[in-house]
Amino acid sequence: MKQTLLIILLFIIASSARAQTVTRTMAVTVDDLPYVMIGDGSYVTRGRAATMKILSTLKKHKAPAVAFVNEDKLNGDGRDARIDLLRQWVSQGEILGNHTFSHPDFNRLTVAQFEDEITKGELVTRQLMRAHQPYQLYFRHPMTHTGDTREKKEAIEKFLAARGYKITPHTIENSDFIFNVPYAQALQRRDDALAQRLRDAYLDLTMSATAFAEKISPEIFGHEIPQILLIHANDINADSLDEMLGRFEARGYTFVTLDQVMADPAYATTDTYVNNYGPTWLFRWSKSKGLSLDFSGDPDPPKWVMDLYNGH
């Protein structure tokens, strides 16, 4: 009997040691600040509620974030209160990045027009971040459209580098902007059952996308790399982020700064893949390295969610 207990004890010690050997890191990035509003109501009231939830969740999980701002969203009712939403991020120690002024599609703009969007998009943000200098400036292209011709792509890369910006990649994307539309509508209709179903499907897809990134990155780099999650400042993340970060932790993740993730040699890989859509950097790097890998396992939202999103 004593021997059985000892064996059980040894088994528990051995398996917990094994669990601890999986150590993974991830940086969280949040786009479209201060807030993505779907439906009616006061932008500031709803934005404040979402901001508080997202920030307290990041704090709870010790997850530093870089958050990307579209400064044209500050124009509207209560400009000062909207800027205050950004101030909350800064006072929690998060870094604000540039996501252009008005979130245009680079495919439809000239290089000069896009450069104008970048310079116009950093005015308030740089002011708010002044006390934190020096810090790494980060830029993320809207829809991660990095240039539909090689000339445009390289011209903007040069422009950004000259202004001190690093382009922010992402390796895990979960179509949160799609889930968020029917989710916000369900909340407004007080359809709790649908809201719950959407949150569950969203979290499941996030974990499948994460498992895919963990599987494909060794095929590109020979080992698993630190990940960069891309999400948006919206309602579904306000209500799901706590459980999402908990599920990442259960997979062995700890959350680190974007600077730390970008220091990994994998992130020094040049992205030479020219395209007119916005694939993940894992795909871009695989193409840049001349690899032809199977990305069909990178999950898309289920059909019932797409139907709701498309208004069926």
Which residues make up the interface to Zn ion (CB under 5 A)?
A: 31-32, 142
Nearest-angstrom CA–CA distance, 312 and 305: 10
Residue 170 sits at the vertex; the CA angle it makes with 179 and 229, to the nearest 5 degrees, is 55
Q: Which is nearer to Zn ion, 31 or 173 (CB)?
A: 31
The smaller minimum CB distance to Zn ion, of residues 142 and 301, is found at 142
- The minimum distance between CB 216 and Zn ion, in angstroms, equals 24
In the complex with Zn ion, which residue's Cβ is closer, 180 or 217?
180
Smallest separation, CB 142 to Zn ion (Å): 5
Query: Quick one: which of 139, 146, 141, 213 has its CA closest to 174?
Result: 213
Q: In angstroms, give the least distance from the CB of 60 to Zn ion.
A: 25
> Nearest approach, Cβ of 304 to Zn ion (angstroms)?
25
Provide the token pair at 307. 């139907």
Nearest-5° Cα angle at 12, 10 to 16: 120
Place of tokens 């006061």: 42
Polymer length of the chain: 312
> In terms of CB distance, is 225 or 230 closer to Zn ion?
230
Ranges of H-type helices in the chain: 2-21, 43-60, 79-91, 111-120, 123-128, 150-162, 176-188, 192-221, 235-250, 258-262, 281-288, 303-309
Supply the minimum distance, in Å, between the C-beta of residue 16 and Zn ion. 41
In degrees, to the nearest 5, what angle opens at C-alpha 171 toward C-alphas 169 and 177?
A: 90
Q: Which is nearer to Zn ion, 121 or 216 (CB)?
A: 121
Q: Give the residue from 211, 110, 220, 121 showing the smallest Cα distance to 163.
A: 121
Q: Which of 210, 181, 218, 138 is nearest to 308 (CA)?
A: 181
We find the least distance from the C-beta atom of residue 62 to Zn ion, in angstroms, to be: 25
Which residue number has the CB closest to Zn ion?
31
